[in-house]
Amino acid sequence: MNTPLTELGQQLRVDSVRAAAAAGSGHPTSSMSAADLMAVLLARQFRYDFGRPSHPGNDRFVLSKGHASPLLYAAYKAAGAIDDSELLTFRTLGSRLEGHPTPRRLPWVETATGSLGQGLPVGVGIALAGKRLDRADYRVWVLCGDSELAEGSVWEAAEHAGYEQLDNLTAIVDVNRLGQRGPTRHGHDLDAYARRFQAFGWHTVEIDGHDVDAIERAYGEAVSTAGQPTAILARTLKGKGVAAVEDREGLHGKPLPDADEAIGELGGVRDLHVEVQQPPDARTPHAASAGHLELPRWETGDEVATRDAYGKALAALGTAREDVVALDGEVSDSTRAEFFAKEHPDRFFECYIAEQQLVAAAVGLATRGRVPFASSFAAFLTRAHDFVRMAAVSGAGINLVGSHAGVAIGEDGPSQMGVEDLAMFRAVFDSTVLYPCDANQTARLVATMADLDGIRYLRTSRGGMPVLYGPDEEFPVGGSKVLRASEDDRLTVVAAGVTVHEALKAADALAADGIPVRVVDLYSVKPVDLETLREAAERTGCLLTVEDHHEQGGIGDAVLDAFLDGRPTPRLVRLAVRMMPGSATPAEQLHAAGIDAESIVAAAKLLVENAVVR
């Protein structure tokens, strides 16, 4: 009965208990249920070079139930990747072994988990890379909890993987029947889960998750199943192996009450070492070197929508660079990702109306060295907020593009208007937020953002706008453009995107009335151009921000970044969307929201007349 595999499972349990005991917190019982599943995977199926995590032939493992991190770290120890003393640093300041694993700290972690229901969607992205781009034999193994199957994102992933016939993907579901607060909806009813996965086109296997032979057979069945992803539904017991906690409620996320007794009950501390199989040879599939980039060019004065410029620039970037891929949420005719799709169909991923899966697939593709651009309406990217947040925890490098920004879209009304997106993306850790106002600027920013780190967001507009800049103008991140300036400027209008054009009209009208104003195009919303804003503040004393966005978290707040070091803050006046729009034409919308040229003129005159500005 005590095969090496069961012994290894017991070691993983013991080490999970020890790590949590040392930390005084953590999720040992959630680790113990899946210990046998992990032991067999590590010893029998997983092909991985721990010395070379970027090996193109490596299998990929995702711990979707990220709270079972003690199990993951115990497996790393068994594989020789970390030593026992490091294992016991779990959850302490400075340790790589965080409460939930992240690739920021550990090279063997593909993606940060801990927000449930995200591992499988990211695994789908990795499997897509393997199948459609790398054409490599690596397999993607995702260890899921049963509780997290309540997340809709899991079924977006199931749909995507089933439809794409990702037979390189295996979901191992640790059905331990207990969530955080108590029993799950379906308890140990493996059939309930099997029916769901089967309906989405998956092959399923139901097993006793503590029977190592059954586990081994199930993995073999997954590997030999062609044309379908496989879900292994494993009946397990939370806290398996220790009577005081096994299959009991109220013990989620807590160290065991008596660790020493538990370790004894589990047969004591072991030091088994697993020789993990080496991956097969594989080439790095995409060209690392960039070809010559020929961005599209527009003449100043042309009327072009920035979403059109986005699509064309992305297609050109895709021609120059093999590592660039695009994804879209079934609106590529609107976001103009279709231009890329037509030129590079092999590197375009249609994600249908499933924005969480859209972002997760981008994260997965990024783990395989790709530079993904994922697009939808700006409004609908809010659907993926938690995935963007977790991508930032991962340190993933992805480009997100939100079209149909603001009330300027017109008749479709508020459900389609992105007026919170700048706030959402600015608050993401280490993000870059770009918002172009013309086609040439858009094209340049698309090329630039591809080489940045972290989460990059580009906001595009639906309607045509005149091209302001020549095709050779440069737009560094953290820069801005001063479009009107004189020695006598009474205030500075700071705008971006559609409001730049309103600001220019307003400036001309104000100049005609003897009120010169400065106009700054703040295309880089994060980071902002500190110097230009500070100079404008010093010279004019007042910044009037105008934005097609709610008044919170957008451009009006962004300009403040230039004045947070204790220096005097200029007067700040803000025009932004403060009402709930209805349907109307774009021009009517801008006027109703008080962010059109007329509104800017009125605000500027009010400030001048009341002697608020010089």
DSSP class of 272:
-
Residues 516-545 that bind its own copies (CB under 8 A): 526, 542
Length of the chain: 614
- What's the closest the beta carbon of residue 499 comes to its own copies, in angstroms? 17
What is the rounded distance in angstroms from the CA atom of residue 174 to the CA atom of residue 64?
A: 11
Residue type, 303: E
Reduced to 3 states, what is the DSSP secondary structure of residue 260? helix
- What's the closest the beta carbon of residue 573 comes to its own copies, in angstroms? 5
- What's the closest the beta carbon of residue 152 comes to its own copies, in angstroms? 2
Interface residue with its own copies among 159, 265, 322, 547 (CB under 8 A) is 159
Choice between 188 and 217, CB closer to its own copies: 188
152 lies in the binding site for its own copies (CB under 8 A) = yes
Choice between 423 and 467, CB closer to its own copies: 423
105 lies in the binding site for its own copies (CB under 8 A) = yes
Catalytic: which of 98, 110, 338, 355? 355
Q: Where are the alpha helices (DSSP H) in 25-68?
A: 28-33, 35-40
- What's the closest the beta carbon of residue 82 comes to its own copies, in angstroms? 15
For 248, counting Cβ atoms within 10 Å of its Cβ (0-12 exposed, 13-18 middle, 19+ buried), the class is middle
163 lies in the binding site for its own copies (CB under 8 A) = yes
Interface residue with its own copies among 142, 315, 354, 500 (CB under 8 A) is 354
148 lies in the binding site for its own copies (CB under 8 A) = yes
411 lies in the binding site for its own copies (CB under 8 A) = yes
Choice between 184 and 306, CB closer to its own copies: 184
What is the rounded distance in angstroms from the CA atom of residue 145 to the CA atom of residue 164?
A: 23
What is the rounded distance in angstroms from the CA atom of residue 194 to the CA atom of residue 232?
A: 9
State the residue for tokens 């907020």: 385
Choice between 57 and 581, CB closer to its own copies: 581
85 lies in the binding site for its own copies (CB under 8 A) = no
- HSE-CB for 127 with a 13 A CA cutoff: 31
Distances (CA, A) of 95 to 89, 254, 390, 456, 575: 6, 19, 20, 28, 46
Interface residue with its own copies among 3, 54, 92, 486 (CB under 8 A) is 92
Residues 166-185 that bind its own copies (CB under 8 A): 179-181, 184-185
Evaluated on CA atoms 288, 292, 295, 296, the torsion sign reads: negative
What is the rounded distance in angstroms from the CA atom of residue 519 to the CA atom of residue 505?
A: 10
Choice between 267 and 527, CB closer to its own copies: 527
Considering only CA atoms, give the Rg of the chain.
27
343 lies in the binding site for its own copies (CB under 8 A) = no
156 lies in the binding site for its own copies (CB under 8 A) = yes
| 535 labelled catalytic | no
Interface residue with its own copies among 100, 307, 336, 501 (CB under 8 A) is 100
The residues, ordered by sequence, that sit 6+ positions from 519 with a Cβ below 8 Å of its Cβ are 482, 483, 484, 485, 492, 493, 495, 500, 503, 504, 507
DSSP-derived pairing of the beta strands 432-434 and 524-526: antiparallel
- What's the closest the beta carbon of residue 549 comes to its own copies, in angstroms? 8
- Show the tokens assigned to 372: 């993904």
Residues 545-584 that bind its own copies (CB under 8 A): 550, 552-554, 556-557, 560, 563-574, 580, 582-584
Between 11 and 50, how does the x/- string for binding to its own copies read (CB under 8 A)? ------------x-xx------------------------
198 lies in the binding site for its own copies (CB under 8 A) = yes
- Show the tokens assigned to 67: 């709270």
403 lies in the binding site for its own copies (CB under 8 A) = no
- What's the closest the beta carbon of residue 107 comes to its own copies, in angstroms? 16
Q: Which residues are catalytic?
A: 355
